[in-house]
Amino acid sequence: MKRNLFVNLAGILIAMLLGAIVMLIQGYNPVETYSALFGYSLANFYSFSTTLRNAVPLILTGLSASVAFASGPVNLGQPGQLLIGAIFCVIGGLYVDLPPYLMIPFLLLLSMIGGAVWSGIAALLKKFFRMDEFITTLMLNMIADYLTYWAITYPLFEPRANHPQTPLITKNGFMPKWGNFNTNVIVMLIVFFVIWFILNRTTAGYEWRISGKNSLFARIGGVKIEKNYLAVMLLTGALAGLAGGLVIMSGPHRFIKGLGANYAWDGIMIAMVANNGIPATLLYGLFFSILQTGSLGMELITAVPSELITVLQAVIVLVVVASRGYFELMIAKIATRRKLKDRDIYPQLINENAIDREDANQ
């Protein structure tokens, strides 16, 4: 755990140094830029609560991808599942009206069902036509894109608006706010704990993790691979759907064209840097939200364009993923040196750079 933390922090630090170099080359002052960035996203309660709110869809789609990848299914359909979750939520919020304590859980459930329906289609295509979810979820993303666009242009169109969007959902379905703190964060935290618990403490989670690593071993051990596949697809779809529902309920309260455009792709990226770890997904989601929220401030205060943040994110992903192996090797070396010192074996000959090339190709 400690080791992981170190590896990740070192990766982020290197990435930020690289970002600073890019800024210098472009003639910006990196210190000023970074302080504007973090100032805008972290400086006070107001900005921090905005950062938290924005982190919610990143973390939820990130969890969706992490759970899927760690368990085997390559669910790349978070963008589509998010949109369908959001549209389910909007439909519920337009046609049903209940008191808030019922309305909010109802809409959350509805958006999870939306996401699960969408990932469920991919699961069924696999079951009946042996189509790989890796392809079908990507295809379904496009379909979801056009389907929701059609829905907000025609049947759910708000007549007075001059661009495609739906009317507002019922006020009873808005996520409550305390000051600027949005309660969608609480929902996200609960979901985070539940997912962590499922994966690390339950029988099903154990089976998913093992199947993700060696499905033949799991199958011969009595694990019901197909059933688990379906469960993981539905669960991860529901997570992405929930992200969509929460975007509606805590943000614009209606479906606007282009909603949540990048959240879900960022979620997949977060799962990748987090190496599908659940706590790491939470932390990286938060960190990416700090960067994204801060990028607005950076643009306002300095002349650096907010696109730089996209670059910075990409660099972080590359550096962390690429250096993970290297840092682990380095830590292993340090441990070996200690052990050798303890034993006093030919200290003058010791080569603590000894490496194991087990994984290298012969």
Partner 1 sequence: MTDVITMDHIVKVFPPNVVALNNVSVTFREGEIHAVVGENGAGKTTLMKILYGMQEANSGKIFLKGSQVHFNKPGEAISSGIGMVHQEILLIPEYSVWENVILGVEPTGYFGKIDQQKSRQKVKQQIDEFQFHLDPDARVEEISVAARQKVEILKLLYRNVSFLILDEPTSVLTPQEIPQLFDELRRMRDNGRTIVYISHHLEEVLELSDRITVLRKGSKIDTIESSAATKKSLAQMMVGREVIFESIRKTARTGNIVFDMSGLDYSFPQKRPILQNIQIQVREGEIVGIAGVEGNGQLEVVRIIMGLLKPDHGKIEIQGKDFTHASILERREKISFVSQDRANMGSCLNATISENIIMTHHRLNKRFSKWNGIVLNKSQIRIFSEEVRKSFDIQMDSTEAEIKSLSGGNQQKTILGRELSLDTPFLLLDQPTRGLDVGSIEYVHEHILQMRDDAHAILLLSADLEELFRLSDRILVLHRGKIVANLKTEQTSIEEVGYLMLEGGAQ
> Residues 57, 247: contact at Cβ < 8 Å?
yes
- Compute the least distance from the CB of residue 359 to partner 1, in Å: 10
User: Please, which residues have CB within 8 angstroms of residue 129's CB and are 6 or more apart in sequence?
Assistant: none
The reply on whether position 330 binds partner 1 by CB under 8 A is no
Name the residue nearer to partner 1 (CB basis): 42 or 354: 354
The reply on whether position 341 binds partner 1 by CB under 8 A is no
Which region, judged by CB under 8 A, interacts with partner 1, from 45-53, 62-70, 89-97, 326-334?
A: 326-334
> Residues 116, 237: contact at Cβ < 8 Å?
yes
Name the residue nearer to partner 1 (CB basis): 163 or 219: 219
Q: Bridge partners of 177?
A: 182
- Compute the least distance from the CB of residue 350 to partner 1, in Å: 5
- Interface with partner 1 (CB under 8 A), residue from 74, 94, 124, 332: 332
Distance of CA 156 to the CA centre of its chain: 29
Q: Determine how many CB atoms are found less than 10 A away from the CB of residue 166.
A: 26
Nearest Cα to Cα of residue 85 among 195, 238, 187: 238
The reply on whether position 29 binds partner 1 by CB under 8 A is no
> Residues 106, 223: contact at Cβ < 8 Å?
no
- Interface with partner 1 (CB under 8 A), residue from 42, 194, 303, 355: 355
Structure token digits, residue 101: 């304590």
> Locate tokens 């409550």: which residue?
176
- Compute the least distance from the CB of residue 13 to partner 1, in Å: 24
Which region, judged by CB under 8 A, interacts with partner 1, from 62-70, 176-184, 233-241, 349-357?
A: 349-357
HSE at residue 16, side-chain half, CA atoms within 13 A, is 16
The reply on whether position 140 binds partner 1 by CB under 8 A is no
- Interface with partner 1 (CB under 8 A), residue from 27, 99, 155, 222: 222
The reply on whether position 224 binds partner 1 by CB under 8 A is yes
Structure token digits, residue 213: 């690593």
- Compute the least distance from the CB of residue 204 to partner 1, in Å: 8
Nearest Cα to Cα of residue 81 among 192, 285, 249, 244: 244
> Residues 92, 271: contact at Cβ < 8 Å?
no
- Compute the least distance from the CB of residue 197 to partner 1, in Å: 8
- Compute the least distance from the CB of residue 205 to partner 1, in Å: 8
String of contacts with partner 1 for each residue 280-319, x by CB under 8 A: ----------------------------------------
Tell me the C-alpha distance between 232 and 109, whole Å.
17
Which region, judged by CB under 8 A, interacts with partner 1, from 93-101, 132-140, 222-230, 259-267?
A: 222-230
The reply on whether position 325 binds partner 1 by CB under 8 A is no
Name the residue nearer to partner 1 (CB basis): 226 or 307: 226
Name the residue nearer to partner 1 (CB basis): 21 or 345: 345
The reply on whether position 340 binds partner 1 by CB under 8 A is yes
351 DSSP assignment: -
Q: At 310, phi and psi to the nearest 5?
A: -60, -40
Nearest Cα to Cα of residue 200 among 279, 94, 133, 309: 279
In the region spanning residues 202 to 221, those forming contacts with partner 1, defined by CB under 8 A, are 202-204, 206-207, 209-210, 213-214, 216-221
Q: Determine how many CB atoms are found less than 10 A away from the CB of residue 5.
A: 12
Size of the site for partner 1 (CB under 8 A): 41
Cα–Cα distances in Å, from 242 out to 19, 71, 239, 290?
33, 20, 5, 21
184-201 and 45-71 helices cross at what angle (nearest 10)? Answer: 30
The reply on whether position 194 binds partner 1 by CB under 8 A is no
* Residues lying near partner 1 in the complex (CB under 8 A): 201-204, 206-207, 209-210, 213-214, 216-224, 331-333, 335-336, 339-340, 343, 345-346, 349-358, 360, 362
